Structure 1
Amino acid sequence: MHLRFTEEELGTLVEMVSLAAEVASWNERPGAEEGLSAYEALEDKVLEKAKHAGLGEHVHFDEEKQRHHLSPEFQDGSFFQQCYDEFRNESFWEELVVRLADRDLVRVIGMPAWQKMSEEDRRAQTRDIEKRYWDEFSKNGIDRVAVIFPHVEG
Structure 2
Amino acid sequence: MASVHLEMTEKQYKKLIEAVYLGTWMVNSTKMDLDEDFEEMRELVLSNYNQAGLDDLVVHQKEMDIHDLDVDFESKLLDTYVEEYDEFSFWDKLVEKLADKEMVKQFGAPKGEMTEEMMEKRIQFEEQIGQKLEESGITELDFTEK
User: C-alpha displacement at 1:15, in angstroms?
Assistant: 0.8
Query: Which residue of structure 2 lines up, in the alignment, with residue 60 of structure 1?
Result: 59
**Given the alignment, which residue of 5, 10, 17 partners 2:8?**
5
C-alpha RMSD over aligned residues: 3.1
| Closer, same or farther: CA 27–65 of 1 in aligned 2, 3 Å | farther
Identical-residue share of aligned pairs (%):
24
How does the TM-score come out when normalised to structure 2?
A: 0.76
The structure with the largest helix share of the pair is 1
**Given the alignment, which residue of 83, 101, 104 partners 2:102?**
104
Structure 2's unaligned 5+ residue stretches are none
CA distance, structure 2, for counterparts of residue 142 and residue 21 of structure 1? 32
Q: Does structure 2 retain, via aligned residues, the 8 Å contact 1:47–1:59? A: yes
**Given the alignment, which residue of 124, 132, 141 partners 1:128?**
124
Q: Does structure 2 retain, via aligned residues, the 8 Å contact 1:60–1:70? A: yes
- What SS class does the counterpart of residue 116 from structure 1 fall into? coil
Query: Which residue of structure 1 lines up, in the alignment, with residue 19 of structure 2?
Result: 16
What is the number of equivalent residue pairs in this alignment? 142
CA distance, structure 2, for counterparts of residue 123 and residue 65 of structure 1? 53
How does the TM-score come out when normalised to structure 1?
A: 0.73
Letter of the aligned partner of 1:25 in structure 2? Answer: N
Structure 1's unaligned 5+ residue stretches are none
User: C-alpha displacement at 1:65, in angstroms?
Assistant: 6.7
